[in-house]
Structure 1
Amino acid sequence: MNFQNLELNIKDAIATLAIARPKKLNALNRETIQEIHTAFKHLKDQANVRVVILTGSGEKAFVAGADISEFADYNVAEGTDLAAKGQEIVFDYIANFPKPVIAAINGFALGGGLELAMAAHFRVASENAKMGLPETSLGVIPGYGGTQRLPQLVGKGRAMEMIMTAGMIDAKTAKDYGLVNHVTTPNELLDLAEKLAHKIMNNSSQAIAAAIKAVNANYEDGTNGFETEIKAFGEAFGTDDFAEGTQAFLNKRKPDFN
């Protein structure tokens, strides 16, 4: 597929999708938001893709935020639509994506950029990464799920402080907070993400998709996550992967989930 603002590479069942607007520090504009949706919708249907790594092109930024020049003159209705549509087609779409999504944070992940990283299933970061939600310094609040996902990841108090101060934290602090799982050098960032992707691919894609759904259910209003887990657990007994996994275990061999 051809994109104006993205770079997509697929190798060894791993899709690496990079936001590529280096002159704008990979800031998210409307066109990029739509392209991200198109890319993920495409990857969902690709049987040869089992894990997605989401990153930014260049060495300075993952995504430095939203492209403020596009919405500086929006009214209330337009601002509401901007957040609602973005959450629907990108941020919530990624959070509920049935294939694992790893965010590899290289450099700045601010505002919509941090919200994009938080929509991924987990995050790794380079030592030079800086993260924050600076929206209150612009007279607005995070609109792509930041007020919801940041407290889930770092706790209410830390999220309140980050949002109210509009400050940035470094990669080490982000790891201490639980915002990222691992920190490494910039040169080793994608290698680490790929290493984790290969570990994931040793396991059942069917089971992983069910686990993503069950974990997310815990954060959905009106949904009983335990019931979701029980239903998915039971359904697993009817899958080919369950038959392969159990037989491999009993016969003391590695399972083949391909």
Structure 2
Amino acid sequence: MTVQDVDRVSFVREWEEWHRAKEEALAGPHGFLAITGLHWLSPEPTRFEDAPGAWSATAGGVVVDLAEGEELTVDGTAVRGRYGFGAIAERDSLYVGHGDAVIEVARRGGHDILRPRHPDNPLRTSFTYTPAYAPDPRWRVTGRFLPFREPRPLTVGAAVEGLEHVYDSPGQVEFAWEGTPHRLTAFDGGSPGSLMVLFTDETSGVTTYAANRSLRIAAPDSDGRVVLDFNRAGNLPCAYTDLATCPLPPAGNRLPIAVEAGERIPLERGGRP
């Protein structure tokens, strides 16, 4: 076996581990496929079929009024009657228990929302796998990070019509494909120094999900170099369910090339094995 063969075997194995972990999170007992409803809260207390209590969005935050015999578990403690969650920050989520279900209380696009997650949701129990292109080392490319002088707030659309998200962008990522340079506006990747890009390309709506794919990028090195492994271009939850509020790519993040790498259209959206 050649060195190249050993490298490729390792490359494929690492990709399989990444994909398996991503699938397990998606289809876990309380992952995104377990969501049964996306409820927009208002000042008027409202009951929903998939969650106990009457829920409302007040000036002081989300409040639930539980009827006699109803209870939720918050941080391991059973609560009954009226309970206030306080103000929830944008893009934050709180998770409370109800039997084998989890109720997500969150804020998205300036709105308080409720998303119950039930393990027996048919979308979850019927899930098998997400189609993907075979991992190919040529889609692992080196680029460079071009930081802005100061992070720039960018407003992007969402999978939910009329909803908007605002993210701070620290800069752009530049790379070349077949000799042609391309740039993608990046967002914070979650871990220190890391980046995340949302993009579409010539495969979008053909073999990959039309609205977006995401790619996480490790922190740049001391010279600003980054590695973009498009084999790990992944679907966001909105690729599987309409009960997600995923952001759309910023203007300019459509690549004029066919990125035939990463995850493809889910079977749940008519994708092919």
Q: TM-score, normalised by structure 2?
A: 0.22
The structure number with the bigger radius of gyration is 2
